[in-house]
Every structure is written in structure tokens, then in C-alpha cells.
């Protein structure tokens, strides 16, 4: 495996993928053997912490997105603050189950900015990690509208009482695209509550969003939500 790993580190786009295919086969054969899978994961994580080329690290992240556990999260977390490598790390962390992945993404919010931070916010939303809801709230008031909109969308995907409360408080302070994003997210929170059987909480949001002054599409969606709850 060591020879194959060295080839992965040196791999670049456009070159032969033979060594990658060989290593994929090694990993495939390890399936079902926890000890062997642990060795494969550790070896791949080591590539991420080496001077491997971008292409090699990208390939490793794709492998870890399938076989990764909490053990490889520290190596991926270090990449989140690197604007060049953050996207590939997010790809893996979004798919690795467990609290550790969510915490790594949440902790990176304060260490990043711009598109990198927005990407992390998006990934947190896709994971639906409720432990990150509190950390996202502060970004609803960001002077960067793209960041604020991303935070709103993520809170809608995460759902829960904390997310709903934050969106409720923010919606009347926002305007334009941000207000639209917040209202959509608030509605999504109600939908999640309804699906979870929290009918009273969902109905309260639907009633609020169905009121005059809200956009027609939001009012209509809220009305549908209320009707579905009463069935």
C-alpha cells in the first residue's frame, strides 16, 4: 500500500489513474474487516496531511466520503481553512456521519470568510446538524448578504425550535433577497415541525406567515400547510 500511496501523492489530473484504481481495489477488499478499513482510512488521512498534489487529495476526499469515520475528521478539518482545499474537505465531511463532522464544520465558521465560509454554511445545512444552529444565527445579520442568505437557508434545512425562533426574530428586520430567504426558511421550519408531529408549533408559524403583508407565494404555501395539518 505504501507504494500506491506515494503514487497517489504524486498523481495529477490527466495522468494515468492505474494506481488509484489499484488502491480502490485494496479498499474494496478491506470492506467488512474493521481493522483493515481503519488502516485504509488512516493511510488516506495521512495523504491529506502530506505535500500531495491537489488532484491526489481530491481523490482521497472522495474515498473518505464513502469510508470515512470520526477518525479522519481532524485531517479534513484542517483543510477547511484553506480556500483551495475547503471544497473537497466539505464534500467528505458532508457525507461522513457522526457529531464530529458537524462540529468540525461549525468550528470552522469563525476561522473562514467569503465563499469558503458560505460553502461551509451550505454544507452544515445539508447535514442538518442542529448543534450548529446557534452558530449560524449570528450570520443572519451579516453585512454580506450572500452569507446572511446562506445562513437563513441552512437554518431552514436544519429546522427545530431554535432555528425557527432565530428566523422569526430576523424576518422583520430584513428586506429584499434576505427577507425572501428568511421567509422561505421559516416556512421550511414549519414543514419540518409538521412532519415531526409538532402540529401546534407548525400551525403557529403557518398562521403567522399566512397573514397580510407577507408575499402571496408565502401566504399560499402557509395556507396549504394549515390545510394539510387539519386533514
Write the pLDDT tens digit of every residue in 136-194. 999 999 999 999 999 999 999 999 999 999 999 999 999 999 999 999 999 999 999 99
The predicted structure's pLDDT at residue 171:
94
pLDDT above 90 (res 134)? no
pTM: 0.92
CB 140 within 8 A of CB 182: yes
**Residues 155/121, Cβ–Cβ less than 8 Å:** no
Rg (CA), the chain: 21
Contact of 158 with 167, CB cutoff 8 Å: no
Grid look-up 432555528 returns: 163
Burial of residue 181, with CB atoms counted within 10 A of its CB: 0-12 exposed, 13-18 middle, 19 or more buried = buried
pLDDT in tens, 39-96: 999 999 999 999 999 999 999 999 999 999 999 999 999 999 999 999 999 999 999 9
Class for the domain spanning 133-231: mainly alpha
Cβ burial, residue 71 (10 Å; 0-12/13-18/19+)? middle
Structural domain boundaries of the chain?
Answer: 1-127, 133-231
Amino acid at each position: 500500500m505504501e507504494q500506491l500511496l506515494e503514487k497517489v501523492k504524486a498523481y495529477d489530473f490527466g495522468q494515468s489513474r492505474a494506481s488509484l484504481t489499484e488502491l480502490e481495489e485494496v479498499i474494496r477488499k478491506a470492506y467488512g474487516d474493521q481493522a483493515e478499513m481503519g488502516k485504509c482510512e488512516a493511510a488516506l488521512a495521512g495523504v491529506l496531511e502530506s505535500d500531495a498534489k491537489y488532484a491526489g487529495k481530491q481523490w482521497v476526499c472522495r474515498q473518505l466520503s464513502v469510508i470515512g469515520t470520526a477518525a479522519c475528521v481532524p485531517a479534513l478539518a484542517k483543510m477547511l481553512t484553506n480556500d483551495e482545499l475547503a471544497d473537497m474537505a466539505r464534500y467528505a465531511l458532508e457525507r461522513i456521519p457522526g457529531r464530529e463532522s458537524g462540529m468540525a464544520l461549525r468550528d470552522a465558521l469563525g476561522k473562514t470568510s467569503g465563499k469558503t465560509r458560505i460553502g461551509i454554511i451550505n454544507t452544515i445545512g445539508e447535514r442538518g446538524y442542529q448543534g450548529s444552529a446557534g452558530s449560524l444565527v449570528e450570520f443572519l445579520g451579516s453585512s454580506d448578504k450572500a452569507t446572511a442568505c446562506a445562513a437563513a437557508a441552512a437554518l431552514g434545512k436544519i429546522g427545530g425550535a431554535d432555528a425557527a425562533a432565530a428566523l422569526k426574530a430576523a424576518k422583520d428586520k430584513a428586506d429584499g433577497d434576505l427577507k425572501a430567504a428568511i421567509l422561505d426558511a421559516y416556512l421550511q421550519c414549519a414543514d419540518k415541525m409538521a412532519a415531526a408531529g409538532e402540529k401546534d408549533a407548525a400551525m403557529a408559524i403557518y398562521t403567522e406567515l399566512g397573514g397580510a403583508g407577507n408575499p402571496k407565494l408565502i401566504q399560499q404555501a402557509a395556507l396549504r400547510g394549515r390545510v394539510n395539518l387539519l386533514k
